[in-house]
Amino acid sequence: MGGMDNFIIAVDKSLRVMAGIASSNRPNPSAGMEEVVLADTERSHSAALMRVNHVGEVCAQALYESQGRFSANESMKEHFRQAGREEEDHLAWTAQRLKELGSHPSLLNPLWYAGAYAIGAAAARMGDARSLGFVVETERQVEAHLTSHLQTLPVQDEKSKAIVMKMRSDEAEHGAAAHALGASELPLPIRRIMQVAAKIMTTTAYYL
């Protein structure tokens, strides 16, 4: 496959991700669960949190795509491809839940994707150990966000909770896998910057 073919495939994938078009290889954790009646404020809150989670998965696709593309290690490339495939399940699940809640993905998905892609490329250029360390820290922060969502989702919204719980479990596995491959811990200032950037993104995505 030539360079132009690879470019077209990459562009097509990025457009699909930003549009929220994804397919799942695993069953949706909420499949078969009964949809309950939510008050308007509860439905709006659930939808906003799922939009935040969907943005996180858009960013995950961009990060893993760029980290794999710019890594010089074939085993690392395969690791990022596999992780990206599992994260695509999350993208599909959150997109479906948004539709069920009568809402939509973030209007700023192109911005989130582009920013995450650039960050992933920069992380890859720092070497495999630092790139994996970036994954570990990212997954640690994502786990914390998902845990907070479980605490604030409407009590009766079991469908959203089932999706978030499975996502949290997968993120923990991804972080552990990256750590086992030789991740090095990121310096504290970089971790702080990541936290601030994540706060800005999640706060904005809640509304947009």
Domains along the chain with CATH numbers: 39-207 (1.20.1260.10)
Average pLDDT over residues 134-144: 93
In this prediction, residue 73 has a pLDDT band, given cuts at 50, 70 and 90, of: confident
Which carries the bigger pLDDT value, residue 14 or residue 23?
A: 23
What is the model's pLDDT at position 16? 61
Average pLDDT over residues 145-155: 96
Average pLDDT over residues 107-112: 92
In the chain, what percentage of residues exceed pLDDT 70?
A: 89
Amino acid occupying residue 75: S
What is the model's pLDDT at position 87? 87
In this prediction, residue 158 has a pLDDT band, given cuts at 50, 70 and 90, of: very high
What is the model's pLDDT at position 7? 46
DSSP string, 56-103: HHHHHHHHHHHHHHT-S-HHHHHHHHHHHHHHHHHHHHHHHHHHHTT-
Look up tokens 């993905």; give the residue.
105
What is the model's pLDDT at position 25? 84
Which carries the bigger pLDDT value, residue 85 or residue 168?
A: 168
What is the model's pLDDT at position 79? 86
Look up tokens 């491959």; give the residue.
181
**CA distance linking residue 208 with residue 197, whole number of Å:** 16
Look up tokens 């811990």; give the residue.
185
Mean pLDDT score across all residues of the chain: 89
- 121 with 70: CB under 8 angstroms? yes
CA 195 to chain centre: 15
